[in-house]
A and B are shown apart, each in its own frame.
Chain A
């Protein structure tokens, strides 16, 4: 996969936001059923990092935040989360830490500790150095 993904134009942003809203309702139903890990995976899937539109990013962050705050069992999360989600989860964790909101930061720190043990320092490096695909 050599080459940069194209940036999504503004008119496609509406399509992305609609998709995020669909995702949000699916996540709500998963959370009601108690499937927290599934909910987080759904939230992380199809994250639109290659769009410059801030609304898309914020919309997706709200959805991920909702799923993230509902997580209680970290062992279950990491035993079933695929490694391909590590980098994108780490990016959202840093976004959460930047909000400064106490409960969000507490939860993000808890998950960050376990994610670093699992994924290693390389995951943090990829988050910090990637200024193009931000969340």
Chain B
């Protein structure tokens, strides 16, 4: 078991983000507010409530160098919050969307942030010093459906997006005046704003949770058809691998290192994937080992009733009484929809990460005693 601490902070958590020193957490408890909790003397106390949005806050990100929080909501707005004294002061960012905003992320240098929306567009927002406000530029082309997840490449220019049309796309978000052309970089940095670099058409169902590896060489994203896709050498000729999962789909992934990925989703149990020396990715194990009996199916009580009706037998209800603990033995009780790293400064690979889910729990995991993953 690698779970370090389990915190029941709400009834249901939509998304969360950590402060730069990991002492405070900002989360949305499935309503239009953002609650910031501070850890003091082993107890979490609610330090701030940010109330500006009218509908559910679907994405939060906390810049680790700028200490600014960006929140996006289904009310089609976004706010950038700065800490002035002891109060969080919001600045409205006009995104020019006509549908909900679904996800957001600060760029690595935190001079831009990306917002994915249900309007089939991605907004890239940057700060204009002269007018003292945030400007948004839209990438309107290419997407055929809602953009579910966005992720920045370490070079601060490339952005990967996943959409409910099943495709993962990489765009250039070069903005004159904000980004600098790198003369020795590859040709992808010569692309204009909004130009699509590559489109990955691997999934026939909704795609979620795209992330870049720490070097930016590999991309991972999940499909709602219980598959996870790994793409190496993203560019004109990418190498893609599909890994089929045994169980329910994932919602989000995290790169622990170049070769190890953690996936979280509807199984309520983080799954570890690793690449071997030849670069072939495969499923390694669940992070929480639950006792399974090999003969009987290992589903929780909610499935055993359904299967019992399906197969017209009563044995499922009876034999699974002992199996009811397989869900309770796990840490999360409901879908995990957000996983974030807790990076220590100066350490390259991620040793601690946090997950939050629809059960209202935030769980901090520590990989300290799993040496095989920390290569």
Mutual binders A and B = yes
**Of A27-35, A62-70, A113-121, the one touching chain B:** A113-121
CB atoms of B297 and A117 under 8 A apart = yes
CA distance A87 to B245 in the complex (A): 12
CB atoms of B231 and A126 under 8 A apart = no
**Of A18-26, A37-45, A73-81, A127-135, the one touching chain B:** A127-135
**Of B73-81, B125-133, B155-163, B201-209, the one touching chain A:** B201-209
Determine whether B52 belongs to the interface, using a CB cutoff of 8 Å to chain A: no
CB atoms of B231 and A2 under 8 A apart = yes
Which residues of the partner chain A approach B336 to less than 8 Å between Cβ atoms? none
Range for the number of chain A residues in contact with chain B: 20 to 34
Which residues of the partner chain B approach A123 to less than 8 Å between Cβ atoms? 226, 246
Which residues of the partner chain A approach B205 to less than 8 Å between Cβ atoms? 129-131
- Sample 20 A-B pairs with CB under 8 A, ordered by A number: A2-B201, A2-B202, A4-B201, A113-B307, A120-B246, A121-B226, A122-B245, A122-B246, A122-B248, A125-B225, A126-B226, A126-B244, A129-B205, A129-B223, A129-B224, A129-B225, A130-B204, A131-B204, A131-B205, A133-B204
Which of B240, B246, B307 has a CB less than 8 Å from the CB of A2? Answer: B240
Which residues of the partner chain A approach B249 to less than 8 Å between Cβ atoms? 122, 125
Which residues in chain B, 86-142, are within 8 Å of chain A measured between CB atoms? none
Which of B200, B225, B240, B247 has a CB less than 8 Å from the CB of A120? Answer: B247
Which residues of the partner chain A approach B240 to less than 8 Å between Cβ atoms? 1-2
* A116-B297, A129-B204 known; A109-B248 Cβ under 8 A: no
Which residues of the partner chain B approach A133 to less than 8 Å between Cβ atoms? 204
Determine whether A100 belongs to the interface, using a CB cutoff of 8 Å to chain B: no
Determine whether B358 belongs to the interface, using a CB cutoff of 8 Å to chain A: no
By beta carbon, the residue of chain B nearest A116 is: B297
Which residues of the partner chain B approach A1 to less than 8 Å between Cβ atoms? 240, 242
Residues of A within 8 A of B (CB): 1-4, 87, 109, 113, 116-117, 119-123, 125-126, 129-133
CB atoms of B204 and A122 under 8 A apart = no
CB atoms of B311 and A109 under 8 A apart = yes
Range for the number of chain B residues in contact with chain A: 20 to 34
Determine whether B329 belongs to the interface, using a CB cutoff of 8 Å to chain A: no
Which residues of the partner chain A approach B248 to less than 8 Å between Cβ atoms? 121-122, 125
CB atoms of A126 and B246 under 8 A apart = no
Which residues of the partner chain A approach B322 to less than 8 Å between Cβ atoms? none
Q: Which of A2, A4, A119, A133 has the most CB of B within 10 A?
A: A2
Quote the shortest CB–CB distance from A106 to chain B (angstroms).
Answer: 10
CB atoms of A113 and B311 under 8 A apart = yes
Q: Which of A3, A87, A109, A125 has the most CB of B within 10 A?
A: A125
CB atoms of B225 and A130 under 8 A apart = yes
Quote the shortest CB–CB distance from A93 to chain B (angstroms).
Answer: 12
CA distance A2 to B204 in the complex (A): 12
Which residues of the partner chain B approach A120 to less than 8 Å between Cβ atoms? 245-247
* A2-B200, A2-B231 known; A119-B246 Cβ under 8 A: yes
CB atoms of B297 and A3 under 8 A apart = no
CB atoms of B201 and A126 under 8 A apart = no
By beta carbon, the residue of chain A nearest B303 is: A121
Quote the shortest CB–CB distance from B114 to chain A (angstroms).
Answer: 24
Which residues of the partner chain B approach A109 to less than 8 Å between Cβ atoms? 310-311
* A109-B311, A119-B246, A122-B245 known; A2-B226 Cβ under 8 A: no
CB atoms of B204 and A121 under 8 A apart = no
Determine whether B227 belongs to the interface, using a CB cutoff of 8 Å to chain A: yes
By beta carbon, the residue of chain A nearest B248 is: A121
Which residues of the partner chain B approach A121 to less than 8 Å between Cβ atoms? 226, 246-248, 299
CA distance A1 to B231 in the complex (A): 10
CA distance A129 to B310 in the complex (A): 20
Instruction: Type the 1/0 row for B291-308, where 1 means its CB is closer than 8 Å to any CB of A.
Output: 000000101000000010
Q: Give 10 new A-B contacts, CB below 8 A, not counting A109-B310, A121-B299.
A: A2-B231, A113-B307, A117-B297, A120-B245, A120-B247, A121-B226, A123-B226, A125-B225, A126-B244, A132-B204
CB atoms of B224 and A125 under 8 A apart = yes
Which residues of the partner chain A approach B247 to less than 8 Å between Cβ atoms? 120-122
Which residues of the partner chain A approach B245 to less than 8 Å between Cβ atoms? 120, 122
By beta carbon, the residue of chain B nearest A125 is: B226
CA distance A100 to B201 in the complex (A): 35
CB atoms of B311 and A122 under 8 A apart = no
6 nearest CB pairs, A to B:
A120-B246, A122-B226, A129-B205, A129-B225, A125-B226, A2-B240
